Amino acid sequence: MGRNNRILVPEARKQLDQLKVDVMKAKGYPVDAEQPDAVKFEIAKELGIPLSEDYNGKLTSELAGKIGGPIGGNMVKEMVRLAQEQLAKDKR
């Protein structure tokens, strides 16, 4: 399954994948560091959503959001926390 999303700084992909691994492991999901995107299948299974490794064109955007939301949402929360921590350090 290829990546359809693009990040602004392609060189950051490795760090973003590591962030995904760290955040989702902290949430209790088994994550393979070699395939961090595979966690979406674990979430889909947990939610009873039929996610395929091939074609998912019949999956509604609502269901896709239920899968991606916990991943992206938790990653954003962690990035905000890290930024606040850095700002607090800079003020000292």
List pLDDT tens digits, range 4-56: 667 788 899 999 999 999 999 999 999 999 999 999 999 999 999 999 999 99
Distance CA 67, CA 47 (A): 8
The rounded distance, in Å, linking the Cα atoms of 64 and 49 is 9
Q: Count other C-beta atoms under 10 Å from residue 43's C-beta.
A: 19
pLDDT, tens digit (0-9, with 9 covering 90-100), for 54-67: 999 999 999 999 99
Radius of gyration over every alpha carbon of the chain, rounded to an integer in angstroms: 15
